């Protein structure tokens, strides 16, 4: 490499899973979803992720990514956690626990929301489903299930909680042809389900909660079914979608798809040390609804203005700005003297297969967060040029 060996040791060529593995769970037996056998049989490359053994890719990340943008892809997201909460105290418990306004949620509607710590840091991001007048479901990140389960029972003790994660399978069908595919297998009219709404019905004969949500920026559905029914639904979708060009999609493409939309990933872009406002999630924080855990701290940030902001960044060349790399002022050039200084940190970065550029998300000091601002990213000891761009990086095509 030019200028000698890299500043930080890079992985050997065939080093294991890199950021797909989570160090904290190294000595714990990995969990498997109901589709584990199907993934192995299909030749998926399995990796540890958040305590689960998950497919990172089948045919290849770029190919799977493009299939979702052009046709339809199916994702096994059964590792996600689901909690049900019900009873006369459910609404009050959720209002206290989450940042969004649960009272605004109709039966059959879904809401993106957050659990926060008293200091405004983020416990988790989640989707909240109103199943009935006083019954709700929360979908939480796989690696946070245990932490969240303790948290909701501690801070929502008055309500009746049930952790149904192990009994629930979850398959996402995403892409411009997802509606046709799911519609062909469903016993109800899925075209009438609006974005962030759901219906209960049967898909391929399997009882399912059919949710018009996703993590790709494409139209599509997330199908909640019983763990036992999950393999049957998975094969039905892949069989019925053959003519549509359906492919199974691993976590690798799930990550590049969500990155192009600038969707936050817990553990990368948001965590206990980040607040919702600097993460650009102020739109799901509703202080007017009344008190909730973290409100005072978040409102203090709002009053002062966040010190740093999560921005979208585009690199000038194709080198990848990865999680943890320092973000700096621009490289010195005529008229801009002095060594670059560190002003932020990359939280997620990859080659974006649809935008065909190296893109990233980063926290930078608010003074450097405006679209068009030139920045540098320190990659292996060398500062490479990039700039703040508008997000999403790729236009969203969700059904609004």
Question: Which class for 400: exposed (0-12), middle (13-18), buried (19 or more C-beta within 10 A)?
Answer: exposed
Site for another protein in 312-331 (CB under 8 A): 317-320, 322
Nearer of residues 135 and 322 to another protein, judged by Cβ: 322
Quote the least distance from Cβ 356 to another protein, whole Å.
10
Nearer of residues 51 and 252 to another protein, judged by Cβ: 252
Nearer of residues 11 and 242 to another protein, judged by Cβ: 11
The CA distance from 328 to 306, in Å, is 19
Compute the C-alpha angle 159/162/167, nearest 5°. Answer: 165
Nearer of residues 1 and 304 to another protein, judged by Cβ: 1
Count the site residues for another protein by CB under 8 A.
Answer: 33
Q: Which of 95, 99, 144, 256 binds another protein (CB under 8 A)?
A: 256
Quote the least distance from Cβ 357 to another protein, whole Å.
10
Nearer of residues 258 and 308 to another protein, judged by Cβ: 258
The CA distance from 117 to 101, in Å, is 17
Query: Can residue 7 be called a binding residue for another protein (CB under 8 A)?
Result: no
Nearer of residues 40 and 62 to another protein, judged by Cβ: 62
Residue 78 phi, psi (nearest 5): -65, -15
Q: Which of 100, 230, 358, 373 binds another protein (CB under 8 A)?
A: 358
Displacement of CA 78 from its chain's centroid (Å): 14
Please give the DSSP secondary-structure letter assigned to residue 150: H
Quote the least distance from Cβ 3 to another protein, whole Å.
9
Give the range of 13-21, 31-39, 200-208, 366-374 binding another protein by CB under 8 A.
13-21
Quote the least distance from Cβ 213 to another protein, whole Å.
25
Quote the least distance from Cβ 165 to another protein, whole Å.
26
Is residue 305 a contact partner of residue 331, using CB atoms and an 8 Å limit?
Answer: no
The CA distance from 39 to 357, in Å, is 30
Output the CA torsion 128→295→162→22 (10° steps).
80
Is residue 370 a contact partner of residue 270, using CB atoms and an 8 Å limit?
Answer: no
Count CB-CB contacts under 10 A for residue 192: 9
- Helix, strand or coil, per DSSP, at residue 387: strand
| Contacts with another protein, 368-387, as mask; x by CB under 8 A | ------------x-------
Pairing state of beta strands 247-249 and 73-76?
parallel
Query: Can residue 16 be called a binding residue for another protein (CB under 8 A)?
Result: yes
Nearer of residues 57 and 163 to another protein, judged by Cβ: 57
Nearer of residues 14 and 27 to another protein, judged by Cβ: 14
Q: Which of 141, 165, 329, 350 binds another protein (CB under 8 A)?
A: 350
Please give the DSSP secondary-structure letter assigned to residue 369: -
The CA distance from 341 to 331, in Å, is 9
Is residue 238 a contact partner of residue 248, using CB atoms and an 8 Å limit?
Answer: yes
Give the tokens for residue 324. 């943890």
The CA distance from 166 to 200, in Å, is 20
| Contacts with another protein, 39-78, as mask; x by CB under 8 A | -----------------xx--xxx----------------
Whether omega for the bond prior to residue 298 falls within 30 degrees of 0, making it cis, is no
The residue whose two tokens read 């450097």 is 368
Nearer of residues 60 and 87 to another protein, judged by Cβ: 60
Quote the least distance from Cβ 10 to another protein, whole Å.
4
| Contacts with another protein, 288-317, as mask; x by CB under 8 A | -----------------------------x
Q: Which of 49, 151, 224, 351 binds another protein (CB under 8 A)?
A: 351
Among the listed residues 125, 395, 118, the one whose alpha carbon sits nearest the alpha carbon of residue 281: 125
Is residue 164 a contact partner of residue 83, using CB atoms and an 8 Å limit?
Answer: yes
Quote the least distance from Cβ 261 to another protein, whole Å.
16
Query: Can residue 13 be called a binding residue for another protein (CB under 8 A)?
Result: yes
The residue whose two tokens read 């303790």 is 150
Nearer of residues 49 and 151 to another protein, judged by Cβ: 49
What are the residues binding another protein (CB under 8 A)? Answer: 1-2, 5-6, 9-20, 56-57, 60-62, 252, 256, 317-320, 322, 350-351, 353, 358, 380
């Amino acid at each position: 490499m030019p200028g000698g060996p890299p500043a930080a040791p890079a992985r050997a060529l065939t080093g294991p899973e890199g950021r797909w593995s989570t160090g904290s769970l190294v000595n714990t037996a990995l969990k498997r979803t109901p589709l584990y056998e199907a993934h192995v049989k299909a030749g998926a490359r399995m990796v540890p992720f958040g305590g689960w053994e998950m497919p990172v890719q089948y045919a290849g990340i770029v190919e799977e990514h493009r299939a979702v943008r052009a046709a339809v892809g199916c994702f096994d997201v059964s590792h996600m956690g689901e909690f049900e909460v019900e009873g006369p105290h459910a609404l009050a418990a959720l209002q206290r626990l989450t940042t969004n306004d649960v009272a605004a949620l109709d039966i059959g509607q879904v809401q993106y929301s957050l659990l926060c710590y008293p200091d405004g840091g983020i416990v988790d991001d989640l989707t909240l489903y109103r199943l009935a007048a006083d019954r709700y479901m929360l979908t939480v990140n796989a690696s946070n299930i245990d932490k969240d389960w303790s948290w909701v029972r501690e801070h929502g003790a008055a309500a009746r909680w049930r952790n149904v994660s192990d009994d629930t399978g979850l398959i996402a069908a995403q892409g411009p042809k997802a509606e046709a595919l799911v519609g062909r297998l469903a016993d109800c009219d899925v075209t009438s389900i609006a974005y962030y709404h759901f219906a209960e019905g049967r898909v391929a004969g399997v009882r399912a909660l059919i949710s018009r949500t996703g993590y790709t920026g494409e139209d599509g559905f997330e199908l909640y079914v019983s763990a036992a029914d999950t393999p049957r639904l998975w094969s039905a979708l892949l069989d019925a979608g053959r003519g549509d060009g359906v492919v199974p999609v691993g976590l690798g493409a799930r990550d590049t798809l969500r990155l192009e939309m600038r969707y936050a990933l817990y553990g990368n872009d948001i965590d206990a040390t980040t607040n919702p406002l600097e993460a650009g999630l102020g739109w799901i924080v509703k202080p007017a609804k009344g008190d909730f855990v973290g409100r005072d701290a978040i409102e203090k940030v709002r009053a002062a203005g966040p010190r740093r902001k999560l921005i979208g960044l585009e690199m000038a060349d194709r080198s990848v700005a990865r999680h943890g790399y320092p973000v700096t002022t621009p490289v010195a050039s005529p008229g801009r003297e002095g060594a670059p200084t560190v002003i932020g940190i990359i939280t997620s970065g990859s080659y974006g297969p649809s935008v065909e550029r190296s893109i990233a998300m980063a926290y930078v000091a608010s003074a450097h967060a405006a679209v068009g601002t030139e920045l540098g990213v320190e990659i292996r000891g060398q500062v490479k040029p990039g700039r703040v761009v508008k997000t999403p990086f790729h236009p969203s095509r969700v059904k609004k």
